Amino acid sequence: MKYVIIGNSAAGIGAVEGIRQVDKEGEITIISNEPHHTYSRPLISYLLLGKTTEEKMKYRGDEFYDRNNVNFIHATANKIKKKQVLLDNGERVDFDKLLVATGSSAFVPPFEGLASVKDKFTFMSLDDAYKLNDALASDKKVLIIGAGLIGLKCAEGILKRVAHITVLDLAPRILSSILDDDGAKVVQSHLEGKGIEFKLAGSVKVFEANTAVLNNGEKIDFDILVLAVGVRPNTALLNGIADIERGIAVNAKSQTSAPDIYAAGDCTQTLDVSSNQNKIMALLPNAYMQGECAGLNMAGGEKNFDKAIPMNAIGFFGLHVVTAGNYSGDVYAKTESNDYKRLFYSDNKLNGYILIGNVEKAGIYTSLIRERTPLDKIDFALVCEKPGLMAFTKEDRMAKLS
Amino acid sequence: MKRVYVNEKWCLGCHLCEYHCAFAGTNGKDMARSLKDIKINPKIKIEEKDGVSFAVSCRHCHEPLCVKGCITGALSVSGGVITIDRNRCVNCYTCILSCPYGAISPSEDGAVQKCELCIKTSKGTPACVEGCPNGAIVFEERR
């Protein structure tokens, strides 16, 4: 059996580990357009912060490819034709089962005048991080467009190494995809306390070299521009071959609509069981699990990836934020000194939560969402107050612990 | 493989397991001396309410959501035991978000902490099991 995996990040690595649980012999080839050993993308901000090194960023150990007998090809996959992947170097790679784990790319809006900006960067890959790193200097002013996860982790990573950071976002609050208004204020004021300046509900009308002119006429001078507006799934390889909606459409077995072609990770859209909607959930844990599921199925095993929910654990300068699910329904709210908690529930189910500060045992809440646990089967009042196994029935506790 | 199992029927709520756990991490010789004036942060923790108590520590799951979700690869399974490479952990807390038992917790030294069945600190039986005076925590091969 010839397995080919396009992509060398979480989903691709998950697929290798999934395949090898079932098939120790089949030929596995990873095609990657990056030359690097598999690394953890979310760590690029920690690299600039000096909290990790390229060596420690390796997502799996040095022996990973050898131990799993993986053939690694550094090339760009240009096209899929019948049972072959055509590479930019002219080579063709045959496959019996193919996984498309091509990830996502930074979305760069067509801002007027963007071409006049000399030092502009995106922040998705190790190479992006090195390029940005080379431009940093203590007298430089940085403008980051996008107050999302990527933009703010970038800000944290480089704050100490530059003169000033301004973060601009179209949305009226920071981290708008994972926080509510009040939670966003908590995190924003923490970041402002560290020296980061925010311009919210604003957008760039035009760039004039080192100046951004906003729609309200305000001007922001900068030396370095970071574009962290959002990401788009890399779906082009399957154009005309498999169903693509917002991302590549896959079923619970990670199969696309094309025979013998699977897809996993940021390039796909997945059913969010907390809202029952198909979404692009560009998240590393989901990518790994979906990739592993794909690998198991490619190798003839049986596995469903059918409990996906949006979930994020992120921290800024020691302030931790853990969120999951969707924020619809009734709200349990508790704010105590620096700890912020919101639980969202309806129809006897927990839909989502936001924890800032104290995030202890957050996984108890995540599990209630993921498993769609009926809330009348647990002591919900207790679990709101204090997440723990105590909220479950004695029978359930025994099942979990013995 | 052998795992730690707890039975709330026998748990006295004495918290000795927590002290033995914390002591096992100190490399000290005398528990009272090693833990004197220290606020312990054990990897096994007692939950208690209305006369019911039980200890919770890592279940070393067959399908470990913490390992699968770990963004750095710091968490891994070795011989059925889920261990953490503290050197690679960046404290992102994705594992705390993922663990359905609440068995992974923050620590003071730049990495999360979890029960590793004392494989790094002692030989054989985990300290919590050894130290439980009422047989409420056992180390057994069950499934």
Q: What is the pLDDT of residue B122?
A: 67
**Comparing C-alpha atoms, which of A306, A250, A305, A295 is closest to residue A97?**
A295
Residues A191 and A279 in one domain: no
d(CA A182, CA A160): 27
Q: Which of A227, A249, A284 is the last residue before a domain boundary? A: A227
Shortest Cα distance, chain B CAs vs residue A225, angstroms: 26
CB B18 within 8 A of CB B46: yes
Q: Which of A267, A298, A329 is the last residue before a domain boundary? A: A298
Mean pLDDT of chain B: 94
Per the CB < 8 Å rule, is A364 touching B100? yes
Q: What are phi and psi of A366, to 5 degrees?
A: -55, -45
Question: Other C-beta atoms within 10 Å of A257: how many?
Answer: 14
Per the CB < 8 Å rule, is B101 touching A400? yes
How far apart, in Å, are the Cα atoms of A309 and each of A284, A359, A392?
Answer: 12, 18, 22
Residues A101 and A129 in one domain: no
Q: What is the pLDDT of residue A130?
A: 98
Residues A148 and A214 in one domain: yes
Residues of chain A in contact with residue B88, where contact means CB-CB under 8 angstroms, are 52, 56
d(CA A105, CA A125): 9
Rounded to 10 deg, the angle between the A10-22 and A284-298 helix axes is 30
Q: What is the pLDDT of residue B123?
A: 67
Shortest Cα distance, chain A CAs vs residue B30, angstroms: 30
DSSP secondary structure, chain B, as one string: -EEEEE-TTT-----HHHHHHHHHTTT-S-HHHHHTT-----SSEEEEETTEEEEE-----SS-HHHHH-SSS-EEEETTEEEE-TTT-----HHHHH-TT---B--SSSS-B---TTTTTSSSS-HHHHH-TTS-EEEEE--
Q: Is residue A241 part of a domain?
A: yes
Per the CB < 8 Å rule, is B68 touching A402? no
Token pair belonging to B74: 């710091």
Token pair belonging to A315: 């921290």
Per the CB < 8 Å rule, is B6 touching A360? no
Show Cβ contacts of residue B143 under 8 Å, excluding neighbours closer than 6 positions.
none
Question: Other C-beta atoms within 10 Å of A24: how many?
Answer: 10
CATH code of the domain in which A67 resides: 3.50.50.60
Cα A342 versus chain centre, distance: 22
CB-side exposure of A335: number of CA atoms within 13 Å? Answer: 5
Residue B48 pairs in a beta bridge with B53
Q: Where do the structural domains in chain B lie, given as residue ranges?
A: 1-57+120-143, 61-114
How far apart, in Å, are the Cα atoms of A103 and each of A94, A96, A263, B94?
Answer: 22, 22, 10, 20
CATH 3.30.420.10 fits B61-114, yes or no: no
Q: Which of A246, A265, A298 is the last residue before a domain boundary? A: A298
Q: Is residue A130 part of a domain?
A: yes
Q: Is residue A57 part of a domain?
A: yes
CB A391 within 8 A of CB A379: yes
Residue appearing with tokens 């703010």? A152
Per the CB < 8 Å rule, is B90 touching A46? yes
Residue appearing with tokens 């300046």? A197
Question: For residue A131, what are the domain limits?
Answer: 122-227
**Comparing C-alpha atoms, which of A11, A3, A9 is closest to residue A29?**
A3
Partner-chain residue, chosen from B47, B65, B93, that has the shortest CB–CB distance to A389: B47
Ranges of residues in chain B with a pLDDT under 70 are 122-123, 143
Shortest Cα distance, chain A CAs vs residue B114, angstroms: 12
Per the CB < 8 Å rule, is B98 touching A292? no
Contact status of B65 with chain A (Cβ, < 8 Å): yes
Per the CB < 8 Å rule, is A285 touching B5? no
**Comparing C-alpha atoms, which of A19, A7, A205, A223 is closest to residue A100?**
A7
| Total beta-carbon pairs less than 8 A apart between chain A and chain B | 118
What pTM did the predictor assign? 0.96
Q: What is the side-by-side order of every strand in the sheet holding A219-221?
A: A204-208, A211-214, A219-221
Q: What is the ipTM of this complex?
A: 0.96
Residues of chain B in contact with residue A324, where contact means CB-CB under 8 angstroms, are 97
Question: Other C-beta atoms within 10 Å of B113: how many?
Answer: 20
Token pair belonging to B3: 């795992």
Residues in A whose CB is inside 8 Å of some CB of B read 14, 40, 42-43, 46, 51-52, 56-61, 284-285, 288-289, 292, 311-315, 320, 322, 324, 359-364, 366-367, 382, 387-390, 394, 397-398, 400-402
CB B136 within 8 A of CB B7: yes
CATH code of the domain in which A328 resides: 3.30.390.30
Residues A220 and A129 in one domain: yes
Residues A81 and A17 in one domain: yes
Q: Are strands A164-168 and A248-249 parallel, antiparallel or unpaired?
A: unpaired
Mutation pick from A289, A361, A395 vs chain B, by most beta carbons of B within 10 Å, is A361
Residues of chain B in contact with residue A401, where contact means CB-CB under 8 angstroms, are 5-8, 54, 56, 59
Residues of chain A in contact with residue B71, where contact means CB-CB under 8 angstroms, are 40, 42-43, 284-285
Per the CB < 8 Å rule, is A315 touching B73? no
Per the CB < 8 Å rule, is B71 touching A284? yes
Token pair belonging to B76: 């891994």
Largest CA distance in chain B: 40
Partner-chain residue, chosen from B54, B94, B102, that has the shortest CB–CB distance to A387: B102
Phi-psi region of A99 (alpha: psi -120 to 50; beta: other; left: phi over 0): beta
Phi-psi region of A260 (alpha: psi -120 to 50; beta: other; left: phi over 0): left
What DSSP designation does A153 have?
H
- Please tell me the total count of domains within chain A: 3
Q: In CATH, which of 3.30.70, 3.40.50, 1.10.3470, 2.40.128 is domain B1-57+120-143?
A: 3.30.70
Task: pLDDT tens for chain A, 402 residues: list them.
Answer: 999 999 999 999 999 999 999 999 999 999 999 999 999 999 999 999 999 999 999 999 999 999 999 999 999 999 999 999 999 999 999 999 999 999 999 999 999 999 999 999 999 999 999 999 999 999 999 999 999 999 999 999 999 999 999 999 999 999 999 999 999 999 999 999 999 999 999 999 999 999 999 999 999 999 999 999 999 999 999 999 999 999 999 999 999 999 999 999 999 999 999 999 999 999 999 999 999 999 999 999 999 999 999 999 999 999 999 999 999 999 999 999 889 999 999 999 999 999 999 999 999 999 999 999 999 999 999 999 999 999 999 999 999 998
Show Cβ contacts of residue A354 under 8 Å, excluding neighbours closer than 6 positions.
A178, A179, A180, A183, A321, A322, A323, A327, A340, A341, A342
Q: Is residue A310 part of a domain?
A: no
User: Do B61-114 and B1-57+120-143 have the same topology in CATH?
Assistant: yes
